[in-house]
Amino acid sequence: QVQLVESGGGVVQPGRSLRLSCAASGFTFSTYAMHWVRQAPGKGLEWVAVISFDGRSKFYTDSVKGRFTFSRDNSQNTLYLQMDNLRPDDTAVYYCARDGVDRYYFDSWGQGTLVTVSS
Amino acid sequence: VMTQSPVTLSVSPGDRVTLSCRAGQSINGKLAWYQQKPGQAPRLLIYGTSTGATGIPARFSGSGSGTEFTLTISSLQSEDSAVYYCQQYNRWPLTFGGGTKVEI
């Protein structure tokens, strides 16, 4: 079965960096686009970024453009989200999610990793 | 902008429940619904307005067109207590509604 496992979350000061990972298994990873979606504490869902199956195309929500970089290693079935110049409003649970067949919804989700940006 | 109503719904087991989602402009039927229980990741229920995701019980159904969409739970079960989100995938950025909390 599809499994997505995020890691790398933690507490970080404003302006610092953090890198999240998402390990995928149970499907042919290299044929799917993938996403990050986040959820601030007690709030709704916010799409963050998408990466194409081959890593060549990426789109980001405006609030993270220029600060976050989404990448993937298809040989390791792993996604990465490099988050630089973090701000307090980046505090959230970050989920990796697999793209649906009809693009671009989310048919499988990881359990999430919490990022807290605070001094 | 995706707008969901109501924000909270208090219901009883066996009730027929209807949740609404309105888009600011036509989204060409590219709408998905998710269920999220406390402390869990969201789960895909419906995509393409009305196509049920794998393993989703038949009591969940979706309908709508243009800018108005509906998620219906035909006979509510106690395990359906959750927050339900709609999401459009017709244009960037992908956006979610604010959610409807279903309380039993």
Beta carbons of A47 and B93 less than 8 angstroms apart: yes
Instruction: Read off the pLDDT band of A103 (50, 70, 90).
Output: confident
Q: Is A42 left (phi over 0), alpha (psi -120 to 50) or beta?
A: left
Cα Rg for chain B, rounded, in angstroms?
13
Nearest CA in chain A to B91: A104
Chain B positions touching A112 (Cβ under 8 A) are 41
pLDDT in tens, chain B (104 residues): 999 999 999 999 999 999 999 999 999 999 999 999 999 999 999 999 999 999 999 999 999 999 999 999 999 999 999 999 999 999 999 999 999 999 99
Chain B residues with beta carbon closer than 8 angstroms to that of A34: none
Tell me what pLDDT residue A101 has: 82
Is residue B96 within 8 A of residue B48, CB to CB? The reply is no
Q: Which residues of chain A neighbour B34 with C-beta distances below 8 Å?
A: 45, 106
Find the residue in B nearest to A47 (Cα): B94
- For the stretch A79-88, pLDDT in tens is 999 999 999 9
Question: Rounded distance, CA A49 to CA A38, Å?
Answer: 10
Supply the mean pLDDT for chain A: 97
